[in-house]
């Protein structure tokens, strides 16, 4: 600015002010006066702008506060109206509405509804676990999960088996306590990556069937201590050879062989009965017994046969 003024002063100003005693000093004084004036004006203008901006800002704040006030007013109105409505309703049927009276506003009501729903879901999960569903727990800060599979036989809860999985890269089993004769790897290969529920279902079927068969052997040993002898069984309990004595003078021994061909079931797929007395094994009663073994758990079948007094 100073430079521009100075240039003009040098060019035009010198020619115009001829009468001045010292033309240069007068021009310079004038110029400096003009300069201070212009600086003052600029300052004033800036001040004005600043004030304008502040005013605008304040206006905006006022506007916002007004809106807020209106909102609050509306809220208060609605709340009071809700309260009015509720008190009116309450007055109409106080006994029914005693619970709602306690909740002061709709937000609180909402919260309590959510809490109720959460506890409901939790209870459902717990119930699901209690009736033998899979329990799932997060492990290693979300990098893995642990499934627990509960097993039961005839209303009795037996072992709980666990499979811990690593979810970091691809899903894979990292730890478990499944017995070695359950074909876990084969089941995992079949439908592990695609359908986790199908995998868990088939695993659960294998485990429940195994536990069920084992429990039958235990029950036979407990209930028929001395009368029925378990001659042979194996780790998977897929074969069971029983020796029992028939009622009668001869007390002929009978040998029942139960073969559990389907590892997912706790009932045998084949039953053969050999007896010292050949005539008995061909009789219709023995066929009946054979059918009974195929349809009911072994210990129950034996109990039924004993009730009919066919075995000692």
Partner 1 sequence: MEDVAKELLSRLVRRIPLVRLRHVLGRWERLSKTQLLSLDFTQPKWALCENLLSLCEENEIAVKDLTEIEMLYRSEYPDQGVWHVFQLVDTSEESLSSDFMHFRDQFKANLKDLINHVSIKMKKLEDESVWIRIAWGGNFSRPNHLKPTYVVHHLQTPYVFVSSLANKHKPLLFQALALSAHCGSVKDVNLSGRCLTALRDLSMRQYKQVFPSRHQKRLEERDLLPNPSIENEHIKLAEYKQQVASEVFGDGVLPKLETAVYKLETKYREHGSENLARRDEPFRGVVKFSSSNLLESLKYCVSSGMASTPVTPLLSSITHKGRNYFVIKDKQHGSVPNTSASKF
Q: Candidates 40, 69, 110, 140: give the one binding partner 1 (CB under 8 A).
A: 140
Q: Are 289 and 274 in contact (CB under 8 A)?
A: no
Examine residue 137 and tell whether it contacts partner 1 (CB under 8 A): yes
Examine residue 183 and tell whether it contacts partner 1 (CB under 8 A): yes
How many other C-beta atoms can be found within 10 angstroms of the C-beta atom of residue 267? 19
**# chain residues binding partner 1, by CB under 8 A:** 27
Stretch that binds partner 1, among 13-21, 79-87, 105-113, 175-183 (CB under 8 A): 175-183
By beta-carbon proximity to partner 1, the closer residue of 40 and 270 is 270
Annotate each residue in 112-131 with x if it binds partner 1 (CB under 8 A) or - if it does not, as one string.
Answer: -----------------x--
| Strand ranges (E), the chain | 135-139, 144-153, 156-166, 172-176, 229-233, 239-245, 253-259, 270-275
Stretch that binds partner 1, among 37-45, 52-60, 168-176, 218-226 (CB under 8 A): 168-176
Q: Candidates 69, 175, 250, 251: give the one binding partner 1 (CB under 8 A).
A: 175
**Could you tell me which residues are beta bridge partners of residue 270?**
259
Angle at 111 between CA 107 and CA 115, to 5 degrees: 170
Examine residue 135 and tell whether it contacts partner 1 (CB under 8 A): yes
Examine residue 253 and tell whether it contacts partner 1 (CB under 8 A): no
Distance CA 167, CA 145 (A): 7
Shortest CA distance to 135 belongs to which of 266, 124, 13, 97?
Answer: 124
Examine residue 133 and tell whether it contacts partner 1 (CB under 8 A): no
Examine residue 235 and tell whether it contacts partner 1 (CB under 8 A): yes
Distance CA 9, CA 24 (A): 9
By beta-carbon proximity to partner 1, the closer residue of 139 and 191 is 139
Q: Token pair for residue 216?
A: 């039958």
By beta-carbon proximity to partner 1, the closer residue of 17 and 217 is 217
Starting from the edge strand earliest in sequence, which strands make up the sheet with 144-153, in order? Answer: 135-139, 144-153, 156-166, 172-176
Q: Are 191 and 231 in contact (CB under 8 A)?
A: no
Q: Candidates 6, 26, 133, 148: give the one binding partner 1 (CB under 8 A).
A: 148
How many other C-beta atoms can be found within 10 angstroms of the C-beta atom of residue 101? 12
By beta-carbon proximity to partner 1, the closer residue of 132 and 263 is 263
Examine residue 181 and tell whether it contacts partner 1 (CB under 8 A): yes
Examine residue 277 and tell whether it contacts partner 1 (CB under 8 A): no
Distance CA 281, CA 274 (A): 7
Q: Candidates 17, 82, 139, 227: give the one binding partner 1 (CB under 8 A).
A: 139
Examine residue 162 and tell whether it contacts partner 1 (CB under 8 A): yes
- Provide the binding-site residues for partner 1, judged by CB under 8 A: 129, 135, 137-140, 146, 148, 162, 164, 174-181, 183, 232, 234-236, 238-239, 261, 263
């Amino acid at each position: 600015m100073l430079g521009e003024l100075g240039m003009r002063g040098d060019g035009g100003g010198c020619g115009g002010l001829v009468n001045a005693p010292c033309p240069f000093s007068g021009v310079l004084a004038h110029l400096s006066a003009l300069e201070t004036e212009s600086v003052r004006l600029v300052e004033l203008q800036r001040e004005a702008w600043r004030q304008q901006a502040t005013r605008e800002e304040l206006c905006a704040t006022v506007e916002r506060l007004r809106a807020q006030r209106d909102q609050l007013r509306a809220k208060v109105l609605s709340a009071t109206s809700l309260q009015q409505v509720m008190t009116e309703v309450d007055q109409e049927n106080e006994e029914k509405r005693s619970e709602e009276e306690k909740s002061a506003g709709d937000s609180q009501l909402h919260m309590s509804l959510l809490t109720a729903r959460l506890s409901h879901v939790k209870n459902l999960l717990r119930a699901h676990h209690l009736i033998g569903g899979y329990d799932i727990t997060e492990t290693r800060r979300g990098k893995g999960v642990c499934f627990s599979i509960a097993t039961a036989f005839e209303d009795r809860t037996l072992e709980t088996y666990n499979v811990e999985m690593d979810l970091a890269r691809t899903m894979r089993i990292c730890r478990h306590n499944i017995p070695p004769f359950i074909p876990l790897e084969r089941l995992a290969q079949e439908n592990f990556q695609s359908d986790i529920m199908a995998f868990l279902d088939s695993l659960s079927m294998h485990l429940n069937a195994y536990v069920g068969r084992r429990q039958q052997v235990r029950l036979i040993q407990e209930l028929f201590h001395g009368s029925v002898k378990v001659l042979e069984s194996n780790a998977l309990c897929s074969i069971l050879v029983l020796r029992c004595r028939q009622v009668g003078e001869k007390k002929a021994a009978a040998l029942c062989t139960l073969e559990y061909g389907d590892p997912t079931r706790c009932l045998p797929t084949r039953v053969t009965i050999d007896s010292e007395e050949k005539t008995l094994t061909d009789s219709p009663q023995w066929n009946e017994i054979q059918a009974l073994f195929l349809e009911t758990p072994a210990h129950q079948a034996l109990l039924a046969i004993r009730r009919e007094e066919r075995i000692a």
